């Protein structure tokens, strides 16, 4: 388990992160989501013991990362935003170097090498100079150096950055494979990337933790993220809009009713609700002797949650 408490980082006088606290359980795939400058990379670099925090504590598998960074580094594999590659080395020599740096012996590296090459699909280029590889292959070499020593925790900072669509799919599949044997932390500002690969999300904005949980939890955690759109045939008489609005506002769970718009011969009203109250809405409309034409329900997707949370952070700063 990784446990970060009141983690903060200042670059000179500039606030970059925190204080933030979070826990990551063994076997989880956790996504750090945030806009550029949100503090994702800073958080990951601290977790990888590349940076020392200005304040707070980090416990990685029972080891204090600040007091004993070497012990933690043995347990962590890190792919930074820019893979740490030596362009003058070939893939095999580079991975051997990375493995030995992490404390592996020559025979251990030799034994592990075929598995890593196969997992990262680098066998065909294993003797090539890294400087001659395509961006996608370099990213894979970056992943390979992170897993060569079989770390328990794998930290990937923007692993799909700069990849073409085919390479993104390949990288996503690779991350899925890695999830079988590692606790994986991934940062990205690409929502679909995170939602497709992670079990849980940590949303960062302006260095603060804005939300944590699964995509479903995050979407459900806020009352106004559910929306019901109801379309009703306008009744005869004066002020049909006002009459329908009054009926809808009286329904339990409806927080607000937006101004209607015409759709398919009816008036459509978007309702902000605290729960899925489609049954109450349909019952209320029928009881008021109104003709119900259409009822739509949409739960907020990750994108809405993200924009709302990050937008809130922006507004508060």
Partner 1 sequence: MRAISIIYRRELGAYLRSTFAWAIAAMLLLVDGILFQGYAMQGEQLSAIVLERFFYFSSGVSMAAGLLLSFRLISEERQTHSLVLLNTSPVRDVEIVLGKFFAALTFLAVLLALSFYMPLLIKVNGKITMMQVLVGYFGLFLIGAAALAIGTFASSLARNQLVAGVVALVILFVMVLLFLFAKKLDAPVRDVLQELDLWWIHFQNGFMRGVLNLKDVVYYVAVTYFFLLLAVKTLEAKRWQ
Region of 19-27, 78-86, 193-201, 218-226 interacting with partner 1 (CB under 8 A): 78-86
Q: What is the closest distance, in whole angstroms, from the C-beta atom of residue 5 to partner 1 in the complex? A: 19
Residue 85 as a binder of partner 1 (CB under 8 A): the answer is yes
Contacts with partner 1, 123-152, as mask; x by CB under 8 A? ----------------------x-------
For residues 31-70, which are near partner 1 according to CB under 8 A? 48-52, 70
Region of 25-33, 83-91, 111-119, 275-283 interacting with partner 1 (CB under 8 A): 83-91
Query: Closer to partner 1 at the Cβ: 74 or 278?
Result: 74
Cβ atoms of 140 and 156 closer than 8 Å: no
Q: What is the closest distance, in whole angstroms, from the C-beta atom of residue 130 to partner 1 in the complex? A: 10
DSSP 65-129: TTT-HHHHHHHEEEE-SS----TTSBHHHHHHHHHHHTT--HHHHHHHHHHHHHHTT-GGGTTSB
Among 83, 211, 253, 284, binds partner 1 (CB under 8 A): 83
Query: Closer to partner 1 at the Cβ: 49 or 178?
Result: 49
The H or E element that residue 263 is part of is strand 261-263
Nearest to 74 by CA among 101, 34, 41: 101
Query: Closer to partner 1 at the Cβ: 74 or 243?
Result: 74
Cβ atoms of 230 and 281 closer than 8 Å: yes
Number of residues that bind partner 1 (CB under 8 A): 30
Query: Closer to partner 1 at the Cβ: 184 or 281?
Result: 184
- CA distances 46 to 72, 78, 123, 248, 258, Å, are 11, 11, 32, 51, 45
β-bridge pairing 266-273 and 29-33: unpaired
Residue 82 as a binder of partner 1 (CB under 8 A): the answer is yes
Cα separation, 233 vs 292, in Å, equals: 7
- Residues near 14 by beta carbon (within 8 Å), at least 6 away in sequence: none
Query: Closer to partner 1 at the Cβ: 86 or 261?
Result: 86
Contacts with partner 1, 86-105, as mask; x by CB under 8 A? xxxx---x---xx-xxxx--
Query: Closer to partner 1 at the Cβ: 98 or 232?
Result: 98
Quick one: residue 92, left, alpha or beta (phi over 0 = left, psi -120 to 50 = alpha)?
alpha
Residues of this chain that interact with partner 1 (CB under 8 A) are: 11-12, 48-52, 70-71, 73-74, 76, 78, 80, 82-89, 93, 97-98, 100-103, 145
């Amino acid at each position: 388990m990784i446990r970060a408490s009141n983690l903060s980082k200042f670059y000179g006088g500039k606030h970059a992160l925190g204080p933030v606290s979070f826990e990551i359980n063994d076997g989880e795939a956790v996504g750090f989501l945030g806009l550029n400058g949100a503090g994702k990379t800073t958080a990951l670099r601290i977790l990888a013991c590349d940076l020392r925090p200005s304040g707070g504590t980090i416990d990685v598998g029972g080891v204090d990362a600040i007091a004993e960074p070497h012990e933690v580094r043995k347990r962590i594999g890190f792919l930074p935003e820019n893979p740490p590659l030596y362009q003058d080395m070939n893939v095999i020599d580079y991975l051997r170097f990375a493995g030995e740096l992490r404390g592996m012996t020559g025979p251990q590296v030799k034994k592990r090498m075929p598995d890593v090459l196969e997992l990262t699909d680098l066998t065909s280029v294993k003797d090539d100079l890294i400087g001659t590889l395509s961006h996608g292959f370099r990213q894979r070499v970056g992943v390979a150096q992170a897993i060569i020593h079989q770390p328990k925790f794998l930290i990937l900072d923007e692993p799909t950055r700069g990849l073409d669509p085919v390479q993104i799919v390949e990288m996503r599949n690779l991350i899925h494979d890695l999830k079988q044997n590692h606790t994986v932390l991934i940062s990205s500002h690409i929502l679909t990337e995170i939602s497709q690969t992670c079990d849980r999300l940590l949303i960062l904005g302006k260095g603060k933790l804005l939300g944590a949980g699964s995509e479903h939890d995050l979407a459900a955690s806020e009352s106004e993220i559910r929306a019901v759109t109801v379309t009703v045939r306008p009744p005869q008489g004066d002020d049909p809009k006002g009459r329908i609005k009054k009926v809808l506002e009286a329904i339990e769970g409806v927080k607000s009713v937006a101004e209607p718009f015409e759709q398919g011969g009816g008036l459509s009203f978007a309702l902000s609700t605290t729960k899925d109250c489609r049954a109450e809405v349909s019952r209320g409309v029928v009881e008021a002797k109104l003709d119900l034409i259409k009822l739509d329900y949409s739960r907020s997707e990750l994108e809405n949650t993200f924009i709302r949370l990050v937008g809130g952070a922006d507004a508060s700063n």
